Structure 1
């Protein structure tokens, strides 16, 4: 099992399918954040 704690949120990943889905979601979030700078980045 892999446990990821980010602030108040904890994910528990128990198999390869769950790991693949979580990795895909984190990569998509990173792409979205990279394409949309925040006010601090400007």
Structure 2
């Protein structure tokens, strides 16, 4: 008899996705803070 395997909820994938997004945002903010400030042309 075959029965579907118990899979974890698809919503558990939001945790690593949001953690990765937070890591990228944090890295970009740190990079922008350490870069020399540029003046806009407008």
TM-score range, shorter chain: 0.5 to 0.7
In structure 1, list runs of 5 or more residues that go unmatched.
1-13
* Larger strand share, 1 or 2: 1
RMSD of Structure 2 on Structure 1 (CA): 1.4
What is the TM-score of this pair, normalised by structure 2?
Answer: 0.56
Greater RCO, CA 8 A, separation 6+: 1
Structure 1 stretches (4+) deviating beyond 4 angstroms?
none
- SS of 1:15's partner is helix
For the pair shown, the structure with the greater C-alpha radius of gyration is: 2
Q: Is 1:17 paired with 2:20?
A: no
In structure 2, list runs of 5 or more residues that go unmatched.
1-12
* Larger helix share, 1 or 2: 2
Spell out, residue by residue over 1:1-42, the C-alpha distance to the aligned partner (whole angstroms, 9 max, x if none).
xxxxxxxxxxxxx601000000000000000000002322xx
